[in-house]
Copies of this chain bind each other. A is one copy, B any other.
């Protein structure tokens, strides 16, 4: 039985095959891979794109989704083992995962990082518990460590635009925000780009580094694929010659540095001017939702560089291909 909750569940070749299949499905080929099958979608955090695109994906594949909201309609879940459950969580993941596995054929789970540090994100306890206790394939709808379907959709979008990914320069830039956000998206963009052999320059302020485990995993992938990974604490260095400006905010690891809403970091918000150093054909990407005028300038989102809608649209197709893969 296969799971897909982290990039390491795929090889670079399989990731590439999923993107290729996604493009075939987008071109109009029909599939009934989920005929008579049910996809459970368990949300512990909010969602617009993921909820709708997975529901649509299940239906387009001839199946049916069952969305469930934990703690809202559905009992709150406990994840700690060997405790006396005398708090506000009436159900344990051991039972929930075991039970749902008997009703659905694939189980999607969304469980964000709650900002308990990089070690906690790396452990990815919640999605790990579902992998352990479910008896059907588990697919991530974004967890503390990664958002793997986002990574696939992002690289698919770059491939549609530029073809051969080994020639694509990606500037993955930190952006300001009103609060400290999880790192799942930048982690997945980095890992997927590394596996696809792209050239990635990651820029963030001091104190905002990605986790060493993620960086090490990306470097290991790059050794297989010829990808090139560089880190900068200066945004301009990353933008030079970029084909893709991928912006995303995430939280600091060092409590002593300026927080994401500090005025001293406001210049990290992409504007049209940020494209001056980039390749003339450069595109702008962001996983959404995006805070306009805080994280990204209106002019960029509404301007000619933006591919944020196409990128979100591709979520549907990569997820259809990923569901096919899990059932194959």
Contact = CB atoms under 8 A, between A and B. Distances in A.
A291 B83 CA distance: 10
Q: Which of A84, A92, A289, A313 has the most CB of B within 10 A?
A: A289
A292 B66 contact: no
Given A66-B55, A86-B294, A73 B288 contact: no
Contacts of A48: 68, 74-75, 91, 96, 99-100
Name A's interface SS.
mixed
A288 to B, nearest CB: 5
A166 interface: no
A175 B10 CA distance: 46
Given A73-B46, A74-B51, A91-B289, A309 B98 contact: yes
A167 interface: no
25 contacts: A36-B60, A38-B56, A47-B74, A51-B73, A52-B68, A52-B99, A55-B66, A56-B103, A56-B104, A59-B64, A84-B293, A85-B291, A86-B178, A86-B261, A86-B291, A91-B288, A91-B290, A94-B292, A94-B302, A98-B309, A98-B312, A99-B309, A102-B309, A102-B313, A103-B316
Interface of A: 36, 38, 40, 43, 46-49, 51-53, 55-56, 59-60, 64, 66-69, 72-75, 78, 81-86, 90-92, 94-96, 98-100, 102-104, 178, 261, 288-294, 298, 301-302, 308-309, 312-313, 316
